Amino acid sequence: MIRLEKRPAPSRLWTATTPLLAVLLTMIAGGLMFAMLGKPPFEAIRTIFWDPLFGEFAYYFRPQLLVKAGPLILIAIGLSLGFRAGIWNIGAEGQYIIGALVGGGLGLAVYPSDSIFLFPLMVIAGALGGFLWAMIPALLRTAFRTNEILVSLLLVYVAENLMASMALGLLRNPDGAGFPGSRNFQDYPAAFNEELIAGAGVHWGVVAAIIAVIFAYILLQRHMLGFQIKLTGQSPRAAVFGGVSPNRLIIFCLGVSGTLAGLAGLFEVTGPAGQITTDFNQGYGFTAIIVAFLGRLHPVGILLAGLLMALTYIGGDAAQLNLGLPSAAIQAFQGMLLFFLLGVDVLSNFRIRIGKGEVA
C-alpha cells in the first residue's frame, strides 16, 4: 500500500533538488510531447536549451536572454513577497499592462518632447499605474474580505480590454495609416528605453531587476518586515499575536508586486516591444508565477529561474522557426515546469511509504 506520511520538518535535500528534478521531468515529458507532434524530441530539447547559449547563432541570442529575463525577474520578485506571506496576486499581468499604458501614455501625451526628465517621469508613472491597479484587490481584500486571487485575475481581462481600446483609439498613432498601435518609442529618443551597453541586451529594465533582487534579499534576510512576511506565511495566527497587522501586510505586498509589474511593463513597452498594441502583453505576468516558485521564492533563486525561463522563450522561438513547432506546444512546455515543480514539491513535506518501509 502506497501512502504519504507527513515529515516532522521539510526536507532540505528535497527542497534544494526538486527544482532540478522538475526541469528534468519537463524535458522528458516535453520530449514525448514533441515526438507525438512528429518532431525530433532530442533536437527540439537541444534547440531550446543548448543552441541559444552555445549554438551557431549564440552571439545573437545571448543578449536576448537578459531582455527576456528582465521583466520576468522584476515581476517574480514582487510576487514572491506576497506568496511568502500567503497573499496571492495572480493578476500581475494586468498590472504590467496598466504600467505600460500609464507610463507610455504620459510620454505619448507630450510627444515630441525632448526633455531629459521625460523618461524618469514615465518610469514613476508606470510604477504608480501598476501600484494603483494592485490596490484594487488589496483594498477589497482588507475592507470586504474578498478573494484577491479572483479579483486580481479578473482585472487582467479588464486591463487587456483597456489596452486594446487605447491601441485602437486614444493612443493610436495618428501617422499610422489607421493601423492599431501607438507611435514607436524607438523613434522617440526622449522616451526610449535604449540599451545601456550596445549589443549586450542591458537596458534600464534589466538594471531594475538586479536592484530588485538585491533589495528583496536584504529585506527578507536583514529587515524586520521580511521576518514578518515569512512568519505570516508560516503561521498567520502567531504573526497576529506577534503584533503583525495583516491588512498592512496585504497592502504592502500587493503594492510592491503591482509597482514592480508596472515598472516591467513600462520598461518593456518603451524598449523591446517598442509600442502599445492590441497584443502587447506576452504573458510575462503569468510566467513570472512559474519563475517565482521555480526559484523557491528566494531572490537569488528567482534570478536563476528567470534566466532559465527566458532561455525557454528564446529557444522556443528558435524551435518554432527551425522545427515548425506550434507556439501552443512551447507554452505547454513552459507550463509543465510549474506542474512538475508542484508535483515533486510534495516530497519536501511528505515521505512516500510502501507498506511499512520508507522509500523517500
Instruction: State residue 288's pLDDT score.
Output: 95
The pTM is what?
A: 0.92
User: Among candidates 126, 62, 92, which has minimal Cα distance to 271?
Assistant: 126
Instruction: State residue 6's pLDDT score.
Output: 83
Exposed / middle / buried, residue 199 (Cβ in 10 Å: 0-12, 13-18, 19+): exposed
Other Cβ atoms within 10 Å of 150 Cβ, number: 14
Alpha carbons 274 and 185: distance in angstroms, whole number = 5
Amino acid at 124: I
Let me know the angle formed at the C-alpha of 63 by 62 and 65, rounded to the nearest 5 degrees.
70
Instruction: State residue 343's pLDDT score.
Output: 86
Other Cβ atoms within 10 Å of 78 Cβ, number: 30
Instruction: State residue 357's pLDDT score.
Output: 52
Taking the alpha carbons of 249, 145, 133, 81 in that order, is the dihedral positive or negative? positive
In this prediction, the residues of the chain whose per-residue pLDDT falls under 50 are 359
Q: How far is CA 169 from CA 99, 124, 162, 260, in A?
A: 18, 24, 10, 27
Alpha carbons 116 and 189: distance in angstroms, whole number = 10
Alpha carbons 321 and 313: distance in angstroms, whole number = 12
Question: What phi, psi does 245 have (nearest 5°)?
Answer: -90, 110
Cell, residue 167: 491601441
Q: Where are the alpha helices (DSSP H) in the chain?
A: 12-36, 41-49, 51-54, 58-84, 92-109, 118-144, 148-168, 204-222, 224-234, 236-241, 246-269, 284-294, 299-323, 327-344, 346-349
Instruction: State residue 334's pLDDT score.
Output: 87
Instruction: State residue 356's pLDDT score.
Output: 61
130: left (phi over 0), alpha (psi -120 to 50) or beta: alpha
Cell, residue 71: 521583466
